[in-house]
């Protein structure tokens, strides 16, 4: 699929923008603070209903405006679909599909699919475990929309369960009374969390070889092997930590039993701390290169290459699912040397459509045949390819 045209009004720095794109590589060139990233942020928002830069919608609406609009025509196998979202800061957003309002904004998810890599993604390697869990869960949601509901359920049960633990601690509830009260929530929690764990472990199994492959190319070193391991707070027991293959073989039912067992083991601790201490929200996806834990040992350049590999591998996985998303790389070439740039050129030219931003023209490799757009002061003008 590819974005045929984009319309913005009162989005970030843009009062109004109408721009047409083409399949293949589209390069947005402009100095810092001119509005390149805003354009790709808008495209990403239309795909995921969230910005890759900020958690809330308010900064997306141009200062002084009431609402922002992002609209696009997306072409998929020669069919055109128009999709539009109105972002109302502080109120519910509204969306339209082929000019017709949809009842739920979520209905437009899936019309456009993107994989975005941006400098912020360094936190996938260097940041807290939550960043990596989120990465995995978002990829799951992109592949199977049902997962969005599952994630919401897990969060909701956790909130309920933690509220119960807190009130049990506050009222000095006896262990047996707490057991009775927690029983139903343990069951609901295990039911939903087990499914999420099962999905995550399966995804990781599929993703791991793709990440390793991409890293070899991006880092230009064949000898370094990337390992991704799911470290579960649920899976292990005192005398046995299951390996990746063992965990992949587990059914959701198996996870459910493991989780219920772990909840029993940690009951006293949970009551003392008034918080759920085992489950998908406490897990880590441990990244390592040649046996060295990535978070502690990798240099800036290596971390950056690994983060990029994670995104490119997600892209590969989605292509394998027959979804071929739009590939968006924000400010990616500036960080790479010439050899690695050449490898990346292969990746972006093979995509149905890709967007690349760069601050200066000479960051874009000469061998990249791309349509250029110059971004200055919130204006985008396209330049014919030389």
Residues that bind other proteins (CB under 8 A): 104, 145-146, 148-149, 153, 156-157, 159-161, 163-164, 167, 181, 183-185, 187-188
Return the DSSP state at 368. -
Residue 93 Cβ, how far from other proteins at the closest point, in Å?
17
Q: Considering beta carbons, is residue 163 or 272 the nearer one to other proteins? A: 163
Q: In what order do the strands lie in the sheet with 292-293?
A: 226-231, 284-289, 292-293
End-to-end Cα, the chain, rounded Å: 26
The minimum distance between CB 73 and other proteins, in angstroms, equals 22
Min dist CB 263 to other proteins, Å, is 15
Smallest gap from residue 24 Cβ to other proteins (A): 33
Report the 10 Å Cβ neighbour count for 34: 19
- Burial (0-12, 13-18, 19+ Cβ within 10 Å), 32: exposed
Nearer to other proteins, 189 or 215 (CB): 189
| Least CB distance to other proteins at residue 323 (A) | 16
Question: Residue 188 CB, nearest distance to other proteins (Å)?
Answer: 5
* Dist. CA 162–CA 107, nearest whole Å: 32
Q: Based on CB atoms, which residue is closest to other proteins, 106 or 300?
A: 106
Residue 222 tokens, joined: 């064949």
DSSP string across 232-280: -TTT-BTTB---HHHHHH--HHHHHHHHHHHHHHTHHHHHHHTS--SSG
Across the chain, where does the E strand assignment appear? Answer: 2-11, 14-20, 24-29, 67-76, 79-88, 94-97, 100-101, 114-117, 226-231, 284-289, 292-293, 326-329, 353-358, 370-376, 379-383
CA distance 57 to 221: 41
How far apart CA 376 and CA 386 sit, in angstroms, is 20
Question: Which residue, 127 or 252, has its beta carbon nearer to other proteins?
Answer: 252
Q: Give Cα 3 to chain centroid, integer Å.
A: 20
Q: Which one, 129 or 252, has the nearer CB to other proteins?
A: 252
Q: Which residues of 176-215 are buried (b: 16+ CB within 10 A; e: fewer)?
A: eebeeebeebbebbbbbbbbbbbbbbebbeebbebbbebb
Based on CB atoms, which residue is closest to other proteins, 146 or 264? 146
Closer to other proteins by CB, 163 or 249: give it: 163
State which residue, 74 or 147, has the beta carbon closest to other proteins: 147
Supply the minimum distance, in Å, between the C-beta of residue 165 and other proteins: 8
Cβ 112 to other proteins, closest distance in Å? 18
């Amino acid at each position: 699929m590819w974005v045929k045209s984009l319309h913005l009004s009162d989005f970030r720095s843009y009062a109004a923008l109408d721009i047409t794109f083409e399949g293949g590589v589209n390069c947005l060139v402009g100095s810092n603070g001119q509005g390149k990233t805003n354009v790709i942020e808008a495209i990403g928002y239309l795909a995921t209903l969230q910005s890759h830069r900020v958690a809330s919608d308010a900064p997306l609406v141009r200062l002084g405006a009431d609402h922002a609009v992002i609209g696009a025509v997306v072409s998929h196998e020669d069919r055109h679909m128009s999709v539009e979202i109105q972002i109302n800061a502080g109120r519910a957003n509204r969306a339209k599909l082929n000019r017709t309002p949809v009842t739920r904004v979520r209905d437009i998810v899936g019309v456009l699919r993107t994989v975005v890599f941006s400098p912020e993604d360094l936190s996938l390697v260097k940041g807290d475990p939550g960043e990596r869990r989120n990465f995995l869960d978002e990829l799951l949601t992109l592949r199977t929309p049902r997962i969005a509901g599952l994630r919401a359920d897990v969060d909701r049960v956790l909130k309920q369960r933690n509220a119960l633990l807190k009130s049990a601690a506050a009222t000095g509830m006896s262990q047996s009374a707490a057991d009775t009260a927690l029983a139903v929530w343990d069951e609901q929690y295990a039911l939903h969390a087990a499914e999420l764990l099962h999905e995550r472990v399966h995804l990781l199994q599929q993703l791991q070889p793709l990440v390793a492959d991409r890293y070899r190319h991006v880092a230009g070193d064949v000898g370094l092997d990337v390992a991704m391991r799911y470290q579960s707070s649920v899976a292990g027991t005192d005398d046995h930590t299951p390996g990746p293959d063992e965990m992949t073989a587990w059914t959701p039912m198996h996870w459910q039993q493991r989780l219920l067992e772990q909840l029993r083991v940690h009951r006293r601790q949970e009551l003392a701390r008034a918080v759920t201490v085992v489950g998908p929200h406490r897990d880590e996806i441990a990244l390592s290169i040649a046996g060295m834990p990535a978070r502690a040992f990798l240099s800036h350049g290596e971390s950056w290459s690994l983060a990029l590999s994670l995104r490119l591998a997600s892209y590969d996985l989605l292509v394998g699912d027959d979804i071929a998303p739009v590939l968006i790389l924000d400010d990616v070439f500036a960080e790479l040397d010439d050899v690695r740039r050449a490898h990346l050129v292969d990746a972006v030219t093979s995509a149905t459509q890709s967007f690349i931003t760069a601050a200066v023209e000479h960051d874009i490799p000469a061998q990249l045949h791309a349509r250029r757009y110059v971004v200055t002061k919130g204006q985008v003008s396209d330049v014919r390819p030389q």
